[in-house]
């Protein structure tokens, strides 16, 4: 790990300001992903602004919806009574991710900003456009079992690793931020992540120093909710494919550079198509790279089974 200076922030705006005042500075909250990457010298910040003590830890019901502070722990959010009753897909997605110890550290904001687990991103002696722009993508012709099948491109086929964000996309979440100048804005989560095809090293629309303060959910949509995750182990592994369903809203994980809103499947269902036809519509343009070809039929089947599961929960 490279040396760095450290400060503990006292309020959100001053934290945002501190990050812009120090070259190569980063926020740190739970640290479960950032410190891992720092140990491997994939992230090498010269200054850390510790935001973990900021008062952004409340879960508030608001206008029928929910506002989740950026520093609410993944475990706290998953266990919240209102979340479990009104947004069970979110609770299920959170509980499908990481381990008990990690969920006790990982935060809502940090979960959204975690980096990919593509093995080439973690392997410093192999080309990776996300880690070293312009060096090439080793996954295209390499070991790509975990990589993307949607939004195909030749620059970067890493996937976003979050479970939580998949449920949040299905729930129409928006991300609230504060800038170093104190300006606030709300960004629909579906517009939060930027395409990997041009600048894979840049992953979100956040500006330098902009700090996530909360994530808001609108009232839960009518209908059943379900999260289904397929992985290589029964527990404590990243998704190969995951599907979140909330009423008629569908999102996919493990298949693209971002948690993927399945709008084609939604449109097909809205036009009266069956679940199978809807899944086919969503995966029609998918592209495999050899090792991940299996994800295309797998995603189709998991879309169908999760839609059926949500329907059963709705009937019950």
Partner 1 sequence: MSDKDSANGPTLRGYAPDTAAIDALTSSPSRDVLGQTQPRTARPVTQQIRLKVNGTVHSLSVDTRTSLLDALRENLRFTGSKKGCDHGQCGACTVLVEGMRIVSCLSLAVMHEGDEIVTIEGLGEPGKLHPMQAAFLEHDGFQCGYCTSGQICSAVGMLTEHRKGWPSHATPDVAAASIPLSDAEIRERMSGNLCRCAAYPNILAAIKAAGAV
Question: Which residues bind to partner 1, rule: CB under 8 A?
Answer: 1-6, 8, 28, 31-32, 35-36, 39, 46, 48, 50, 52, 75, 78-79, 84-85, 88, 91-92, 95-96, 98-102, 104-105, 234-236
3-class DSSP state of 78: helix
- In the bound complex, what is the minimum distance in angstroms from residue 300's beta carbon to partner 1? 24
Q: 61 vs 207, which CB is nearer to partner 1?
A: 61
Q: Which is nearer to partner 1, 28 or 256 (CB)?
A: 28
Residue 31 CB, shortest distance to partner 1, in Å, is 6
Q: Which of 34, 31, 29 is nearest to 8 (CA)?
A: 29
C-alpha distance from residue 203 to each of 140, 188, 194, 207 (Å) = 19, 15, 5, 11
Query: Residues 6 or more apart from 92 whose CB is under 8 A from it?
Result: 167, 225, 226, 227
The edge-to-edge listing of strands for the beta sheet with 184-188 is 59-62, 65-69, 211-217, 174-178, 184-188
Nearer to partner 1, 36 or 280 (CB): 36
Query: Shortest gap between Cβ of 60 and partner 1 (angstroms)?
Result: 20
**CA-based torsion, 114, 155, 192, 94: positive or negative:** negative
Least CB distance to partner 1 at residue 2 (A): 6
Closer CB to partner 1, residue 203 or residue 309? 309
What is the rounded CA–CA span in Å between residue 156 and residue 177? 27
| Nearer Cβ to partner 1 (6/294) | 6
Residue 233 CB, nearest approach to partner 1 (Å) = 8
């Amino acid at each position: 790990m490279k040396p760095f200076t450290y400060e503990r922030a006292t309020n959100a705006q001053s934290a945002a300001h501190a990050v812009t005042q120090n070259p190569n500075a980063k926020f740190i909250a739970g640290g479960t992903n950032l410190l891992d990457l720092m140990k491997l010298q994939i992230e090498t910040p010269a200054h850390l602004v510790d935001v973990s003590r900021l008062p952004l830890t409340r879960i508030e019901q608001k206008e029928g919806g929910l506002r989740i502070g950026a520093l609410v722990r993944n475990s706290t959010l998953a266990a919240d009574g209102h979340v479990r009753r009104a947004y069970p897909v979110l609770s299920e997605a959170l509980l499908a991710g990481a381990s008990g110890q990690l969920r006790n550290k990982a935060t809502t904001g940090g979960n959204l900003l975690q980096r990919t687990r593509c093995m080439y991103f973690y392997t410093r002696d192999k080309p990776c456009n996300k880690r070293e722009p312009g060096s090439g993508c080793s996954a295209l012709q390499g070991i790509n079992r975990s990589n993307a099948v949607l939004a195909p491109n030749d620059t970067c086929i890493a996937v976003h690793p979050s479970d939580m964000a998949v449920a949040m996309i299905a729930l129409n979440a928006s991300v609230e931020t504060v800038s170093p100048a104190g300006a606030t804005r709300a960004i629909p989560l579906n517009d939060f992540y930027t395409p990997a095809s041009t600048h894979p090293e840049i992953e979100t629309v956040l500006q330098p120093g902009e700090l996530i303060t909360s994530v808001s959910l609108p009232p839960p949509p009518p209908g059943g909710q379900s999260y289904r995750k397929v992985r290589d182990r029964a527990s404590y592994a990243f998704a190969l494919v995951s599907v979140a369903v909330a009423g008629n809203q569908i999102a996919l994980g493990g298949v693209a550079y971002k948690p993927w809103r399945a709008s084609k499947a939604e449109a097909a269902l809205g036009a009266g198509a069956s679940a199978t036809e809807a899944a086919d519509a969503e995966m029609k343009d998918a592209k495999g790279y050899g090792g991940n070809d299996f994800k295309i039929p797998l995603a189709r089947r998991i879309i169908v089974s999760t839609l059926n599961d949500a329907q059963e929960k709705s009937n019950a």
